[in-house]
């Protein structure tokens, strides 16, 4: 300890030395020297530390309360019986068969988590992703299994094409009919392989409808396709599903934080990237434009994804749309970073995770989609 205070080593300061030097200083300033240490002249009467002294005081003035019913638990579902395939880059997360997913949903319900979000890994992939809207598709089976086991659980389904298409893109591509690049591409003025917008909307409508028929409570389009909310709303309404809310991935960035998710959902693009539809991480004003469109199109929830590097964007949406329920996706890379550091003993998983999710809520999110949901709900009870 070599810290110095006025030329004296901290370790040398003792109460009698303080009072001796205080007395000396006082007698230099005035004849009438007090015997104890006085409050420095001009110090503020407002002392924020007064409200931090005990745990009860801190609880009384806590501004942000994280709760289990803020959480949404994502699940990856696969075909088969008794399947539980761990994902190496996401310790504690596994691809689950439908009945295992139902068991995981029951565990979430026991912890007062109100909702799960389903991602499907199909048996086979093709250029369109036919299983995505098949009555017997994996997500459709998992919805039924979960609703049977835990009827009160809100089942949200991801509505996108990337896990189902053989090219791994979120929509139909400007390619020949086979999707393999042979034959004439539908739009001669657009480059080969460009992800088509309006053709994709029709497929997304079919996917959402299929999920609603299977019993989904909320559909969540995630592809950042222009007009996706309006397309889903129109299709659902036309088939007597006007009561099904849409949780729109309104602001989704082309982020490096999705790396582990792509292992989990097996939906990495086979070529190219997603920068022609997902947003540039540098843009925040554009996020307001995206959100405005989704609000106009009838989105019931807005979402920002990822969360941690975009807390300012969460805050901007919260401020611009105070009336809209706002979700934030605490994505796979955010989860994996904490898990990896905790495994090394470099960070305390519990405190860092709770701090992270509290920060996301403080920024303005009402709901947080997190792979840590079960742990967080347990920690909040402890």
By beta-carbon proximity to Zn ion, the closer residue of 129 and 245 is 129
Nearer Cβ to Zn ion (160/369): 160
Q: Which residue number, 52 or 275, has a Cβ lying nearer to Zn ion?
A: 275
Provide, rounded to whole angstroms, the least separation between the CB of residue 300 and Zn ion.
Answer: 20
d(CA 360, CA 157): 22
Q: How far apart are CA 364 and CA 382, in angstroms?
A: 25
- Identify which of residues 153 and 160 has a Cβ nearer to Zn ion in the complex: 160
The torsion defined by the Cα of 211, 377, 366 and 143, in degrees rounded to 10, comes to: 0
User: Given the complex with Zn ion, which of 233 and 277 has the nearer CB atom?
Assistant: 277
Among this protein's residues, is 339 annotated catalytic? no
CA distance 221 to 299: 10
Shorter beta-carbon distance to Zn ion: residue 108 or 304: 304
| Distant-in-sequence, close-in-space partners of 305: CB < 8 Å, separation ≥ 6 | 222, 249, 251, 252, 253, 255, 328, 329, 331
Helix axes 198-214, 228-238, angle to 10 degrees: 50
Q: How far is the C-alpha of 207 from the C-alpha of 34, rounded, in Å? A: 80
Instruction: Considering the candidates 252, 275, 339, 361, report the single residue annotated as catalytic.
Output: 252
By the 8 A CB rule, do 118 and 140 touch? Answer: no
* Shortest spacing between CB 60 and Zn ion, in angstroms: 44
Q: What's CA 175's distance to the chain center, in Å?
A: 33
CB of 162 to Zn ion, least distance (A): 3
Catalytic site includes residue 275? no
DSSP codes, 2-17: --EETTEEGGG--HHH
| Distant-in-sequence, close-in-space partners of 372: CB < 8 Å, separation ≥ 6 | 330, 335, 338, 353, 357
Residue 165 near residue 125 (C-beta atoms within 8 A)? yes
C-alpha dihedral sign at 142, 145, 148, 150 = negative
Least distance to Zn ion from the beta carbon of 252, Å? 9
Q: Ramachandran region of residue 345, left (φ > 0), alpha (ψ -120 to 50) or beta? A: left
Residue closer to Zn ion, measured from CB, 170 or 368: 170
Classify 141 as helix, strand or coil.
helix
Q: Is 366 exposed, middle or buried (0-12, 13-18, 19+ CB in 10 A)?
A: middle
Candidate list 125, 147, 305, 339, residue with the active-site label: 305
End-to-end CA distance of the chain: 38
- Interface positions with Zn ion (CB under 5 A): 160, 162, 170, 223
Minimum distance of Zn ion from residue 224's CB (angstroms): 8
Altogether, the residues listed in the chain come to a count of 382
Residues noted as catalytic: 252, 305
């Amino acid at each position: 300890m070599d810290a110095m205070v006025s030329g004296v080593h901290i370790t040398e300061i003792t109460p009698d030395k303080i009072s001796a030097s205080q007395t000396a200083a006082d007698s230099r300033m005035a004849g009438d020297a007090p015997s104890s240490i006085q409050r420095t002249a001009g110090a503020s009467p407002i002392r924020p530390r007064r409200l931090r002294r005990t745990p009860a005081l801190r609880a009384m003035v806590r501004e942000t309360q994280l709760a289990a019913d803020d959480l949404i638990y994502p699940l990856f579902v696969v075909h088969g019986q008794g399947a539980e395939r761990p994902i190496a880059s996401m310790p504690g997360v596994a691809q689950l068969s439908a009945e295992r997913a139902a068991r995981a949903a029951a565990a979430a319900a026991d912890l007062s988590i109100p909702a799960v979000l389903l991602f499907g890994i199909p048996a086979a992939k093709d250029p369109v992703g036919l299983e995505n809207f098949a009555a017997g598709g994996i997500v459709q089976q998992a919805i039924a299994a979960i609703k049977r086991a835990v009827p009160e659980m809100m089942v949200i389904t991801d509505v996108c094409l990337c896990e189902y298409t053989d090219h791994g893109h979120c929509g139909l591509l400007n390619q020949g009919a086979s999707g393999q690049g042979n034959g004439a591409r539908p739009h001669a003025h657009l480059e080969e392989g460009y992800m088509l917008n309006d053709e994709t909307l029709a497929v997304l409508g079919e996917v959402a409808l299929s999920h609603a028929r299977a019993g989904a409570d909320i559909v969540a389009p995630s592809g950042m396709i222009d007009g996706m909310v309006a397309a889903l709303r129109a299709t659902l309404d036309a088939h007597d599903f006007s009561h099904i809310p849409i949780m729109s991935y309104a602001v989704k960035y082309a982020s490096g934080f999705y790396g582990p998710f792509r292992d989990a959902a097996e939906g990495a693009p086979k070529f190219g990237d997603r920068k022609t539809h997902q947003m540039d991480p540098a843009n925040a004003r554009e996020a307001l434009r995206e959100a405005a469109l989704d609000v106009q199109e009838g989105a019931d929830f807005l979402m920002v994804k990822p969360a941690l590097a975009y807390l300012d964007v969460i805050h901007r949406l919260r401020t611009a749309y105070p009336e809209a329920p706002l979700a934030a996706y605490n994505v796979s890379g955010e989860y994996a970073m904490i898990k990896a550091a905790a495994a090394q003993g470099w960070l305390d998983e519990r405190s860092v995770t709770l701090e992270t999710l509290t920060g996301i809520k403080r920024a303005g999110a009402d709901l947080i989609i997190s792979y840590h949901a079960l742990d967080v709900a347990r920690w909040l009870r402890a």
